[in-house]
Amino acid sequence: MTLAIGDTIPAVTLLDADGAAIDVAAMKGAPLVVYFYPKADTPGCTTEAQDFTRLAPEFAKLDAQILAVSRDAPAKLCKFRDKYGLTVRLASDEEGAVCEAFGTWVEKQNYGRTYMGIERSTFLFGADGKLFREWRKVRVKGHADAVLEAAKAL
């Protein structure tokens, strides 16, 4: 499955780094950034999380929430958050259902090896819960800044 511009936030539930349930659809009412990253505490994923953390006060001025999703367990996300002082809300999708709902669990290739993994992607929802913008196959450098600029256009 994949989302199209104008689609409503999928009704899915995740666990945050502390094991608390997150009802993603209930986050409607304020702009929402949902970004998917392959693995906690790896170079690109760490940089992306640090960039969104750096810009979190600017997103907050827009009343925008940020949710960072990977298939890592909550305990690993807790260590990742604490190690780097991350303020974005990290969410665990261990079973992959949310990745499937957003269309981010894809076939990938690396050094001639084919495998399934998370495609680094970001989704920006308006306060109405509708998808306003999406980014696929994200390059980390400058990405959080681009998402912030798009959020300002909501």
What would the DSSP string read from start to end of 15-53? EETTS-EEEGGGGTTS-EEEEE-S-TTSHHHHHHHHHHH
Tally of CA atoms within 13 A in the half-sphere of 55 that contains its CB: 21
Which CATH number covers residue 66?
A: 3.40.30.10
Q: Taking 70 as the threshold, does the pLDDT of residue 113 lie above it?
A: yes
**Per-residue tokens: 8:** 């409503």
Q: Is residue 8 part of a domain?
A: no
pLDDT digits (tens, 9 = 90+) for 99-112: 999 999 999 988 98
CA distance 116 to 152: 34
Which pLDDT belongs to residue 2? 79
Q: What domain count does the chain have? A: 1
Range of the domain at 139: 13-152
Q: Is residue 143 part of a domain?
A: yes
Per-residue pLDDT band for 118 (boundaries 50, 70, 90) equals very high
Per-residue pLDDT band for 8 (boundaries 50, 70, 90) equals very high
From the list 45, 49, 67, 88, the catalytic residue is: 45
Concerning whether 99 is annotated as a catalytic residue, the answer is: no
Q: Is residue 2 part of a domain?
A: no
Q: Is residue 5 part of a domain?
A: no
If DSSP codes are grouped into helix, strand and coil, which group holds residue 68? strand
Per-residue pLDDT band for 74 (boundaries 50, 70, 90) equals very high
Q: Is residue 92 part of a domain?
A: yes
Q: Interhelix angle for 43-61 vs 74-84, to 10°? A: 70
pLDDT (mean) for 5-18: 96
Q: Is residue 67 part of a domain?
A: yes
pLDDT (mean) for 74-87: 98
Q: Which residues of 52-77 are buried (b: 16+ CB within 10 A; e: fewer)?
A: bbebbeebeeeebbbbbbbbbebebb
Q: Is residue 3 part of a domain?
A: no
| Cβ atoms < 10 Å from Cβ of 115 | 8
Q: Is residue 83 part of a domain?
A: yes
Task: Enumerate residues 6+ apart whose C-beta is below 8 A from 126.
Answer: 31, 132, 154
